[in-house]
Structure 1
Amino acid sequence: MNFPERFSNLPEYAFPRLRSLLDVHAPGGDVVHMTIGEPQHDFPAWIIDVIAENAAEFRRYPTNEGTPELLAAIAGWISRRYDVSVDPATQIMALNGTREGLYNAAMALCPETKNGKQPTVLIPNPFYQVYAVATASVSAEPVFVSATAKNGHLPDYASLPDDVLDRAAIAYICSPANPQGAVADESYWADLIALAEKHDFRIFADECYSEIYRDTPPPGALSAAAKAGADPERVTIFHSLSKRSNLPGLRSGFVAGGPETIKRIRQLRNYAGAPLPMPLQRAAEKVWADDEHVVENRALYQEKYRVADEVFSGTPGYQGPAAGFFLWLAVPDGEEAAIKLWTKTGVRVLPGAYLSRTVNDSNPGQGYIRVAMVAPKQEMQRGLIQLRDCLYG
């Protein structure tokens, strides 16, 4: 039986690969999970009541693009957060988690050819793995651009040759960045939008960590596009309640962009999508409309930043994240560090190379580990101290 070749060069997904690496060894102590970015803070308790009050709607097929009330709540949040007005009826679609949107947007919007040639998709390296599989699915050429300390952990797409940029259909960008926590400032967004305008490609802005930061709210791609007077279809943004509101299991996200962009993504959803069940949409309506719990959640992460900074104070090369909830820690070799840490202490972390692709014999994640600061503060502090003493002591 024949199978498609387009996925044959994709590496094994990060977490099965991690299990293969570590589970053959016994942990060296009480296990502290610091691998998966699954928020553990409490979500607003009233969400349960909203779902229960609307449970009868489980008997209904969900509204495909999102209820009018949900779309209005999202539009209200975009206005409050970014001072940008979007039409909820034509410029937003609710998502069953942003991974769905980041994948299906490529399916809906990437052309078969660009200037008569195979299109390219620009991807930061390291990256969220869905960017690569979406690229493979549309038979585009992935172009991995290293995001390292030298360039502020953000990809320098302007450094690419003109022939690559002229074939570019999509550029993925994650800000705040997973895994490094780097933030694209207004200047970065302005330069990237200008580059996209010059070479006529779309920007897919993955902003799922936008509400977890130290002091200053990260600028948004949509507001930068509005300031630049860019083509309304140029920038598409993706957001989620997973990190903002500690609700990864609710699967409420959204995509927002130009009317033609959203029309095409909605059309694909009509045939191939899985909309959010109605009681969950009703809950999401309330959550997107409420900012108070987000402030409380952010304060918990800000305290975790302080703990991490104290634990690693004086550690050579330590740089705390500007935003998000991951530490991106330099080590001689990520796999060796993860094995040592697991077998000596029971602390479980992810080798950085599992989030990166080797290009020209170089993997920008090889000398790093990613550490998720999602556990309760005391448990997280204990894990970080053990990590420091094991790897840097």
Structure 2
Amino acid sequence: MKIETSEKLKKLPPYLFIEIDRKKKEAIERGADIISLGVGDPDMPTPKHIVEAGQKALAKPQNHQYPFGAGMLSFRKAVAGWYKKKFNVDLNPDNEVCALIGSKEGIGHMHLAFVNPGDVVLIPEPGYPVYNTGTIFTDGIPYFMPLLEKNGFLPDLDAIPEDVAKKAKIIFVNYPNNPTAAIAPKEFYVKLIQFAKKYNIIVAYDNAYSEIYYDENEKTMSFLEFEGAKEVGVEFHSLSKTYNMTGWRLGWVCGNKDIVAAIAKVKDNYDSGVFQAVQEAGITALTSSQECVEEMRKMYKARRDALCDGLNALGWNVTKPKASFYVWAKVPKGYKSSEVVAKLLDECAIVCTPGNGMGKSGEGYVRFALTVPVPRIKEALARIKNCKF
């Protein structure tokens, strides 16, 4: 029997991070001592108090049934309380918050709620691949917004043709940004909301890295802080990066109640909700001491400084990021992104991400994830020094 996949599946590019993981495993099988700075998966364990809360919740028989729906009200209240404390944003836990099986799931499913064949989806480029794959699955038309250094790695909303804007259903925005590590100024949010209102476009704001910042005077923001934001959009968030909970698969979408309800309706038909024991662990994460988050920031700052200072000492041109746990580094002169990644893997046993793998505007850069301890970063730098770029 010949197995034929759907045309939509054939349109999908290879999922970048699966490919990176495959190449890493192949190198390990060859006996290489890999230093993995590729996939943005925190290397530290989930804090002990969160694990213990999850263990206790796991033993409760009432958590062993279908969870169904938008999530436990207690979890949604915890999200609303966290938003009020962090961003001074008021959320109604009854209808403005929906639990997700990780924010990736919600971002991918959002297209099904709003995109019809031929509708345009505005996508930052380079950017998180799921923005585009969700568009392909719904027969939408991706319009890529280049994130260029000269524009502060912000999309140039004025450069979007009016006929494209009129056909657009969703605009995806992500700050602190993956992969460029850029943050957005207040003026951008104001302009974004005005743009969305003018063309009746839903803003899907991906804020997964909001808690990884390095300057107390430049704390990251929520899109929902700004006047009119709830009229036009929602924000996706996740416990993955903030609390080292990538494997737990827990996040949420919040904001405009009608948009949240539409995403929840899609989920009702695709999954049965988030395991309640995981939600209980999430409640503990959001409502207990945030000292673990402070320690996380200190740890990533030390790693950031070690990598950026080390690369610059080797002649690279690297700007220290103000947020996220990524370093968006210009490749040495005379090299392309894929060439640098291949050279680092083959000669140095270092895994990183090619900038152009996340969009053509990423050519000329590689992304390093700060997901190994400082001693391993110093070992990586020693290997790069011997690599002779």
Question: What TM-score do you get using the length of structure 2 for normalisation?
Answer: 0.91
Aligned residue number for residue 281 of structure 2? 283
Aligned residue number for residue 321 of structure 1? 321
- Which of 260-269 and 121-130 deviates more? 260-269
Distance 1:16 1:267, change over 3 A: closer
What value does the CA root-mean-square deviation take over the aligned residues?
A: 2.1
Aligned residue number for residue 299 of structure 2? 300
Stretches of structure 2 lacking an aligned partner (at least 5 in a row): none
In the alignment, structure 1 residue 51 sits paired with structure 2 residue 54:
yes
Matched residues in 2 for 1:294 and 1:22: separation? 29
Aligned residue number for residue 360 of structure 1? none
Among candidates 214, 220, 223, match of residue 221 of structure 1: 223
SS at the partner of 2:361?
coil
Aligned amino acid, residue 9 of structure 1: K
Matched residues in 2 for 1:50 and 1:28: separation? 39
Matched residues in 1 for 2:123 and 2:178: separation? 13
Aligned residue number for residue 266 of structure 2? 268
Matched residues in 2 for 1:7 and 1:64: separation? 29
Contact 1:178–1:324, Cα closer than 8 Å, also in 2:
yes
Contact 2:124–2:145, Cα closer than 8 Å, also in 1:
yes
Q: CA deviation at 1:30?
A: 2.5
Contact 1:122–1:144, Cα closer than 8 Å, also in 2:
yes
Among candidates 50, 66, 72, match of residue 77 of structure 2: 72
SS at the partner of 2:76?
helix
Aligned amino acid, residue 83 of structure 1: N
Aligned amino acid, residue 309 of structure 1: C
Distance 1:77 1:142, change over 3 A: same
Aligned length: 377
Contact 1:233–1:260, Cα closer than 8 Å, also in 2:
no
Distance 1:301 1:56, change over 3 A: same
Matched residues in 1 for 2:166 and 2:127: separation? 22
SS at the partner of 2:171?
strand
Stretches of structure 1 lacking an aligned partner (at least 5 in a row): 357-362
Distance 1:164 1:123, change over 3 A: same
Q: CA deviation at 1:316?
A: 4.6
Matched residues in 2 for 1:275 and 1:223: separation? 28
Deviations 1:264-292 (A, max 9, x none): 11112211124221111111111111322
Distance 1:53 1:3, change over 3 A: closer
Contact 1:21–1:339, Cα closer than 8 Å, also in 2:
no
Q: CA deviation at 1:374?
A: 0.8
Distance 1:240 1:22, change over 3 A: closer
Aligned residue number for residue 95 of structure 1? 100
Matched residues in 2 for 1:237 and 1:280: separation? 21
Matched residues in 1 for 2:303 and 2:21: separation? 27
Aligned amino acid, residue 76 of structure 2: L
Aligned residue number for residue 205 of structure 2? 205
Aligned residue number for residue 354 of structure 2? 351
More helix as a share of residues: 2
Aligned residue number for residue 132 of structure 2? 132
Q: CA deviation at 1:25?
A: 6.7
Contact 1:308–1:384, Cα closer than 8 Å, also in 2:
yes
In the alignment, structure 1 residue 381 sits paired with structure 2 residue 378:
yes
Aligned residue number for residue 5 of structure 1? 7
Distance 1:28 1:337, change over 3 A: farther
- Following TM superposition, where does structure 1 have runs of at least 4 consecutive aligned residues deviating by more than 4 angstroms? 19-29
SS at the partner of 2:263?
helix
Contact 1:148–1:154, Cα closer than 8 Å, also in 2:
yes
Question: What TM-score do you get using the length of structure 1 for normalisation?
Answer: 0.90
| 1:327-346 mapped onto 2 (5 Å cutoff) | 327-331=327-331, 332-346=335-349
Q: CA deviation at 1:109?
A: 2.6
Aligned residue number for residue 19 of structure 2? 17
Contact 1:121–1:171, Cα closer than 8 Å, also in 2:
yes
Distance 1:192 1:13, change over 3 A: same
Contact 1:175–1:210, Cα closer than 8 Å, also in 2:
yes
Among candidates 91, 99, 102, match of residue 86 of structure 1: 91
Matched residues in 2 for 1:308 and 1:40: separation? 16
Distance 1:19 1:391, change over 3 A: farther
Aligned residue number for residue 37 of structure 2? 34
Aligned residue number for residue 237 of structure 1? 235
SS at the partner of 1:209?
coil
Aligned amino acid, residue 71 of structure 1: R
Contact 1:147–1:364, Cα closer than 8 Å, also in 2:
yes
Contact 2:239–2:250, Cα closer than 8 Å, also in 1:
yes
Aligned residue number for residue 259 of structure 1? 257
Matched residues in 2 for 1:156 and 1:342: separation? 35
Contact 2:11–2:136, Cα closer than 8 Å, also in 1:
no
